[in-house]
Structure 1
Amino acid sequence: MSTGSLTTPDVDEQDSRVADTRDPSADDSGNESGSESAEVSSFTSTVPTRRVPARAPNGRFVGAGGQGDDEDDLPADRYLERELSWLQFNERVLQLAMDPAVPLLERTRFLAIFANNLDEYFMVRVAGLKRRIATGLAVRTAAGLEPRELIERVARLAHELMQQHAGVFQHDVRPALEDEGITVVRWGDLDEDDREPLHFFFADRVFPVLTPLAVDPAHPFPYISGLSLNLAVLLQNPKTGTEHFARVKVPPSLPRFILVEEDVDAEVERKRFVPLEDVIASHLDQLFPGMLVQEHFSFRVTRNEDLEVEEDDAENLLTALEKELTRRRFGPPIRLEVEEDIDPKVLDMLARELQISDREIYRLPTPLDLRGLFTIADVDRSDLEFPKFFPRTHPDFAPTESAKAIDLLTAVRQKDVLVQHPYNSFSTSVQAFIEQAAGDPKVLAIKQTLYRTSGDSPIIDALIDAAEAGKQVLAVVEIKARFDEVNNISWARKLEEAGVHVVYGVVGLKTHAKLCLVVRQESEGLVRYCHIGTGNYNPKTARVYEDFGLFTTDPQVGEDLSRLFNLLSGFAPRSKFKRLLVAPRSVRSGLIDLIDEEIDLHTSRRDDAPAGRIVIKANSIVDEALIDALYRASIAGVRVDIWVRGICALRPGVEGLSEHIRVRSILGRFLEHSRVFWFDHGGDPQVYIGSADMMHRNLDRRVEALVRITEPGHVDELADLIDLAFAETTSRWDLGSDGRWVRHHQSEAGEPLDDLQEKLIERHDKRRRKARRR
């Protein structure tokens, strides 16, 4: 692909090794219905946006994003339903678990990821929808569905997917694992020799942490914590014949599946796992001595675990968040999973006490909670996994003649460097950059945004070292990163205690931008070293999340970052930016301007000139204003290619509306997490990378940053990536105008299509070998 024209014809966030299939909203989640504070308004209104009206084919003008007097020119059914699109994303994850061409343990891992994704979806998206319906705040969706109609459709599709998920494990993956000597057995499948060590395990590790809770007039129905696996136990008093009910919580601190001790002298090594609840159930007589255990059934509850913090009313956001985290455990139930042959009387009682409707009850084969399959997926069997992969040091950061680590600041001073994780090592690029800056006596200041990172992160240690060395260190910490709040509070306090200036950004906005600024005293004056990325400063997820990061000493970028950090830590509402687009001020409007410019250049080009083209790579495409702008581009004849990992509310391939738009999704061993925005611009590509997805929360209620890529070699590198992703020989899912995703992973001859990520591994290896030969 040339940089002047993308001519090649013809996509989807836990700490799992195959994390590309994580919920696309998990990293960037937020309540879509929240209101903006006064601080948000001042942030967005101080600099006029550059939106210009777009010309429709009939010569009339429509408002920016199609939201204007001529909005009715576009069909009312032009959007797909975002909540159903998310479930389709998770269905694509399930299809990978069903694919016999995927290594067996990776299929097992995909089953666990599917379960984990769905838990987060219910805790956040379904819970939020149910809460808005209950409070009367829910409105008709952009796709035209009434709230109650939407929740009915979500429930129907979720029921189908959960049944299919259980069936894939029971009838496909589980037997395949057994053929390879990895077996999930039930207690009844074990002989007494197998059971003996499990008796000791129960007495030593399990019994001390169990708390059986009876239900009778003196003992009210207990609180069932969210995502906990439980046993409902029916008991009988042998003296009176009275029937009783009790609940036993399966300890989440113990492995979900317990490895049964094997004969180490056996010729063929076999692994057998028994569900933890089976071990507990077989010893219920020890929990209820003197009672007869009649029956037991497993069940699981999902609760609303979204956070609501009124920041304007909180003197200290940290304290307010800590209190809200305590309240989170008591959110209302939104899903009840039970084993399919549960006693109707027990189910009725659970539903009544939990106030769960029939629609919210999911009957499934045991074992429940297949997140535990992560344990089995981690079995050491390299023949059943993806080939081993080790990130390589970027050639510009690789030492050539000695074993001594290269001076990254010197390398960045010489030229801009664009890294792509996990193909390029995070530890020898981003991590080393911050560590070297922390230890450099000429570095005066380090400023860093932190959204998600690990508590034992070397990034945190480096910032602490820098502060203790007397450098000025600023950390803009987003403690409200969903499901990471507890960890973030912990290491935020650790930073404060070390003397780091910790701030929590702008009230009413999450700080999601991925930025690092290093200020160094050099002979000619102060030099600003910058890193702007698409992913978090997290060494663990950087091994599986695909992301870009730009290192540069460009003065414009340095000035932009200085202004943005001043805005985040102080009062700088009139800040202007040169090479950055910054949300909530200018990402949406800037991208719409670029779309409109592409339309103008396309319509005014010579007949023999190449057509205009727009390419967007993102996790989610939801924002209606941007979608409408892309529709206008298609109507004008501009080719639009969308590479999306998860949710897509844009409907491609509709005649007269989006016939020039293609939407593609790619899944694999790595999570496609980077955001790239390409505008052909008449042969002078305008290309941006950054942290923002095309969602309301990212564009309106977050601090996000996109940076323009100007180095021709980097533009060529991104062009090559786009060419590969949209090649007809690349395995992918394509979205049709009917809203259905169709998988293309085999040629007409039945041969497997190219795996994009395997191709990129090969490319980066060749690039590294070529650089070493120079």
Structure 2
Amino acid sequence: MLRPARTGHDDPVDESSTGRSRSRGTAQRSDPASTPARTTRSGSTGTPARARRATKVTRPAAPDPVTVSEVTVNEITVEDSATIGTTTEAAPAAERRPVPQPSGPAEEALPVPEAKPLPEDRYLNRELSWLDFNARVLTLAEDRATPLLERAKFLAIFASNLDEFYMVRVAGLKRRLQTGLPVRRPGFLPPTEQLEQIAEQTSALMARQSRVFAEEIAPTMAEEHIHIVRWSELDPAEREKMRASFREQIFPVLTPLAVDPAHPFPYISGLSLNLAVVVREQDGGPELFARIKVPNNVPRFFALDRVTRDGARVMRFLPVEELIAAHLGQLFSGMQVVEHHLFRVTRNAEVELDEDRDEDLLQALERELARRRFGPPVRLEVAASISDHVLELLVRELDMDAHDVLRVPGLLDLTALWQIYNGVDRPDLKDPPFVPATHPHFAEGETPRSVFARLRDHDILVHHPYHSFSTSVQRFIEQAAADPNVLAIKLTLYRTSGDSPIVDALVDAAEAGKQVVVLVEVKARFDEKANIGWARTLERAGCHVVYGLVGLKTHTKTALVVRQEGNHIRRYCHVGTGNYHPKTARLYEDYGLLTADPEVGADLTDLFNVLTGYSRQTSYRRLLVAPHGVRRGIVERINREIAIGPEGLVQIKVNSLVDEEIIDSLYRASQAGVRVDLIVRGICALRPGVPDLSDNIRVRSVLGRFLEHSRVFRFGRGAAAQYWIGSADLMHRNLDRRVEALVQVTDPASTEELNRVLTLMMSEDTGAFELTGSGQWHRRPGRNPQEALLRRIVDRAE
């Protein structure tokens, strides 16, 4: 019988969580008549800047609170920007335009047919829809036509996605259940019912994951001389090598923690691997429990290579937990090891901030990140072989419910397959490599021209990863930093890479005396720590760093370059669907519009004045900006198509479609005979193909080599069609609690390219997943649209 234990948090080993966090706050509709408070840090060249206290703005409670099923998001603060030169710039006469309505460019008012009643059960559940998305990722791992190591990569992505789902979505549902937060969202299942269905579906998905790994991928890897082995499979020479590795790299950092009346149950950090060990005295006596944390600063797999007699290289990988388990006798000298089992805990990854109380957002965020590892547990993964009495002890001490437990057959935590994918040099087992093409308009001719000269000729639409990020967007920022005629650079930074050339260019620009304003979103979920570091780096270089708006996360992807040309000022712009992140630009599918259009330049000037100062601008010329204008602007344009009737067309490509008002508008468009094509990578709460409701709606999901990340909107046919791209998904958080921007694409060559890609995605001979009205996804065979774009854009450029 195991000795009882008291709860406690004694663990001398560093338990900093490997989980990532998100911020939280109150979700309200933004009040157009008020301006949120802001937090700004202003730097000066060569002198580290000190934080200035933000001027707090008291806002009345919005009369119509948004009710959502997701974990609420807390956002940013900014202060008076008069000292950093972000007041509205005077536009040349040619750029001055009448101010349109807050929803963006004015739409022609057309009569809309009377709306029909909509059924109560017209929405699919958001959380279960997300699990369906991750099931589609798992389907790619099950596809034998996919290269072997790519299949292993999809298993790792599936596991990582599920970790985040529990840290954020399930944690939010549990918080709602515990606090009794009301939910008035139509079609929303009670948290208890959702948690039960999530547990059931997750268990089935984990069984699929384990089966495909154990029965297909691992055996096929073995056929290719790539083995994940147990200690018992090592030969004497390999064991001796591993013993030396254990003595030198692992043993010194291990700390067995006993659990008894004098030693309370230790804190288990989120996403760490742990061994539950049962020991007793050699001559008998009661069973005792101890926990050993698997170090997170050593590789999950130890590589052991050998060469066969015929000269073939065999790669063998020993899991670190196998190595530790084989040496438990050294950790419990004089004791008998009765049993040991691997387990893993997932914790709530929220960050709690009170932006109205905290005077220094960076310090408050750093304080909360340090506390993050103490979030409540939301999932317990255990080896399938765990004994009932050890599992009962873990559940009791972690204060968890039985449905929070997942028994995992085989290898625990398949995110570790990334190590094998990255560490095995077998191009024949991966997707063929490719080099992104330089956009034809940026190609160097006999007489090189600057990005600015090219943009004065026409707009340029780049499509990553097919078009190179480094020779387009990155070059745009780098040339702006080096150009003596550039006066100012303004940019929003949501996520970027660890060695960011964009940040380097901004630092160079500030050190050269240019005015550089960077809005760094320090609460970008899971990148908080990195972005705090970037903010301080930029401040030290003399950049004006802004953290955003209270209650709103700044998610828009925009850059503005102000250049002196002769006796007037010209503005050059970038508005994109993806982050300024050179590494993900080779993995994420995104669009970016580069333009010198005066209206877009004036719009971005106004938008940055909102972000950095006290401007109350809500109307724009070529932009739709959330939280005031994106939902309204989209609904207005759908209504225009409803008024047109069967000749109308709506095509939308997004990551998620959840917002009820937009979904209901799409239903009414379908009822009016409008053709509606939706390309939704992840969550979709709309039911397509339901008689008398959504007969004219098709929903597809494209998954593959690249992460489909762009947001594209088309309204209408032929010359009257409008095309928009931007940062906003159709979710409450994006439309109500974030600053998002969509830009209208008007250049004929660019709109034709968007039309070509949307047509490809919805073509009858294109392979994709399709959604039915019952909420089931079915995979349809056909050509791979990403491969088709690689051949058309990249191969053609070679």
Task: Give the TM-score taking structure 2 as reference length.
Answer: 0.87
| 1:398 pairs with 2:391 | no
In structure 2, relative to structure 1, the CA distance for the partners of 1:261 and 1:734 (3 Å cut) is same
Shift of 1:155: 1.0
Task: Provide the C-alpha distance between the structure 1 equivalents of 2:783 and 2:303, rounded to a whole number of angstroms.
Answer: 37
| 1:439 pairs with 2:482 | yes
Cα shift readout 1:105-129 (whole Å, capped 9, x = no counterpart): 0000000000000000000000001
| 1:533 pairs with 2:576 | yes
Aligned 1:383-422 pairs, distance under 5 A: 383-401=428-446, 406-422=449-465
Q: Is 2:30–2:737's contact at 8 Å kept on the other side of the alignment?
A: no
Shift of 1:524: 4.2
| 1:178 pairs with 2:192 | no
Shift of 1:242: 3.5
Q: Is 1:177–1:183's contact at 8 Å kept on the other side of the alignment?
A: yes
The aligned residue for residue 676 of structure 1 is 712
Cα shift readout 1:92-146 (whole Å, capped 9, x = no counterpart): 0000000100000000000000000000000000000100110000426532422
Aligned 1:549-698 pairs, distance under 5 A: 549-602=592-645, 611-680=647-716, 683-698=719-734
1:756 aligned residue (765, 774, 785): 785
Secondary structure class of the residue paired with 1:428: coil
Task: Provide the C-alpha distance between the structure 2 equivalents of 1:76 and 1:713, rounded to a whole number of angstroms.
Answer: 43
Secondary structure class of the residue paired with 1:329: helix
Shift of 1:52: 11
Secondary structure class of the residue paired with 2:740: strand
The aligned residue for residue 375 of structure 2 is 331
2:125 aligned residue (81, 91, 95): 81
Aligned 1:13-24 pairs, distance under 5 A: none
Shift of 1:48: 5.2
1:114 aligned residue (158, 183, 199): 158
Q: Is 1:138–1:147's contact at 8 Å kept on the other side of the alignment?
A: no
Q: Is 1:36–1:508's contact at 8 Å kept on the other side of the alignment?
A: no
Cα shift readout 1:687-721 (whole Å, capped 9, x = no counterpart): 10000000000000000000000011111101110
Cα shift readout 1:388-408 (whole Å, capped 9, x = no counterpart): 111111111110237xx6521
Q: Is 1:422–1:546's contact at 8 Å kept on the other side of the alignment?
A: yes
Q: Is 1:645–1:672's contact at 8 Å kept on the other side of the alignment?
A: yes
The aligned residue for residue 776 of structure 2 is 740
Does 758-767 or 645-654 show the bigger shift? 758-767
Q: Is 2:21–2:350's contact at 8 Å kept on the other side of the alignment?
A: no
Cα shift readout 1:183-212 (whole Å, capped 9, x = no counterpart): 111111112111111111111111122221
The aligned residue for residue 699 of structure 1 is 735
Q: Is 1:81–1:141's contact at 8 Å kept on the other side of the alignment?
A: no
Shift of 1:355: 0.7
Aligned 1:472-491 pairs, distance under 5 A: 472-491=515-534
Shift of 1:148: 1.1
Shift of 1:511: 0.3
Percent of residue pairs bearing the same amino acid type: 56
Task: Provide the C-alpha distance between the structure 2 equivalents of 1:286 and 1:723, rounded to a whole number of angstroms.
Answer: 64
Q: Is 2:626–2:735's contact at 8 Å kept on the other side of the alignment?
A: yes
Task: Provide the C-alpha distance between the structure 2 equivalents of 1:424 and 1:579, rounded to a whole number of angstroms.
Answer: 24
| 1:357 pairs with 2:401 | yes
Task: Provide the C-alpha distance between the structure 1 equivalents of 2:712 and 2:139, rounded to a whole number of angstroms.
Answer: 26
The aligned residue for residue 429 of structure 1 is 472
Secondary structure class of the residue paired with 2:503: helix
Shift of 1:765: 3.0
1:320 aligned residue (364, 369, 373): 364
AA at the equivalent of 1:493: R
Q: Is 2:35–2:615's contact at 8 Å kept on the other side of the alignment?
A: no
Shift of 1:576: 2.7
Shift of 1:758: 0.6
In structure 2, relative to structure 1, the CA distance for the partners of 1:461 and 1:677 (3 Å cut) is same
2:27 aligned residue (26, 34, 43): 34
The aligned residue for residue 202 of structure 1 is 246
Shift of 1:241: 2.8
Secondary structure class of the residue paired with 1:515: strand
Task: Provide the C-alpha distance between the structure 2 equivalents of 1:489 and 1:40, rounded to a whole number of angstroms.
Answer: 31
Shift of 1:513: 0.2
AA at the equivalent of 2:221: L
Cα shift readout 1:322-344 (whole Å, capped 9, x = no counterpart): 11111211110110011111111
Task: Provide the C-alpha distance between the structure 2 equivalents of 1:52 and 1:307, rounded to a whole number of angstroms.
Answer: 44
Cα shift readout 1:299-325 (whole Å, capped 9, x = no counterpart): 000010022212111111111111111
The aligned residue for residue 748 of structure 1 is none
Task: Provide the C-alpha distance between the structure 2 equivalents of 1:714 and 1:576, rounded to a whole number of angstroms.
Answer: 25
Secondary structure class of the residue paired with 1:313: coil
1:348 aligned residue (392, 400, 403): 392
AA at the equivalent of 1:153: Q
AA at the equivalent of 1:34: A
Shift of 1:266: 5.8
Q: Is 1:601–1:682's contact at 8 Å kept on the other side of the alignment?
A: no
AA at the equivalent of 2:27: G
| 1:523 pairs with 2:559 | no
Q: Is 1:732–1:743's contact at 8 Å kept on the other side of the alignment?
A: yes
Q: Is 2:520–2:547's contact at 8 Å kept on the other side of the alignment?
A: yes
Q: Is 1:30–1:697's contact at 8 Å kept on the other side of the alignment?
A: no
AA at the equivalent of 2:462: V
Cα shift readout 1:449-505 (whole Å, capped 9, x = no counterpart): 000112310111111110011000000010111111111111111111111100011
The aligned residue for residue 312 of structure 2 is 268
Task: Provide the C-alpha distance between the structure 2 equivalents of 1:615 and 1:534, rounded to a whole number of angstroms.
Answer: 17
Shift of 1:523: 1.2
AA at the equivalent of 1:257: F
Task: Give the TM-score taking structure 1 as reference length.
Answer: 0.89
Q: Is 2:25–2:354's contact at 8 Å kept on the other side of the alignment?
A: no
AA at the equivalent of 1:580: L
Q: Is 2:112–2:642's contact at 8 Å kept on the other side of the alignment?
A: no
AA at the equivalent of 2:791: E
Task: Provide the C-alpha distance between the structure 1 equivalents of 2:651 and 2:528, rounded to a whole number of angstroms.
Answer: 34
Task: Provide the C-alpha distance between the structure 2 equivalents of 1:32 and 1:118, rounded to a whole number of angstroms.
Answer: 24
Aligned 1:38-77 pairs, distance under 5 A: 42=35, 49=103, 57=113, 59=114, 73-77=117-121
1:380 aligned residue (412, 419, 425): 425
2:552 aligned residue (500, 503, 509): 509
Secondary structure class of the residue paired with 2:356: helix
Cα shift readout 1:527-573 (whole Å, capped 9, x = no counterpart): 10100000000011111000000000000000000000011000101
Q: Is 1:234–1:293's contact at 8 Å kept on the other side of the alignment?
A: yes
In structure 2, relative to structure 1, the CA distance for the partners of 1:52 and 1:206 (3 Å cut) is farther
Q: Is 1:422–1:542's contact at 8 Å kept on the other side of the alignment?
A: yes
AA at the equivalent of 1:677: F
Task: Provide the C-alpha distance between the structure 1 equivalents of 2:591 and 2:718, rounded to a whole number of angstroms.
Answer: 25
AA at the equivalent of 1:297: H
The aligned residue for residue 750 of structure 1 is none
Shift of 1:33: 6.5
AA at the equivalent of 1:497: R
Shift of 1:575: 4.7
Task: Provide the C-alpha distance between the structure 2 equivalents of 1:346 and 1:40, rounded to a whole number of angstroms.
Answer: 59
Secondary structure class of the residue paired with 2:346: strand
Q: Is 2:170–2:195's contact at 8 Å kept on the other side of the alignment?
A: yes
The aligned residue for residue 468 of structure 1 is 511
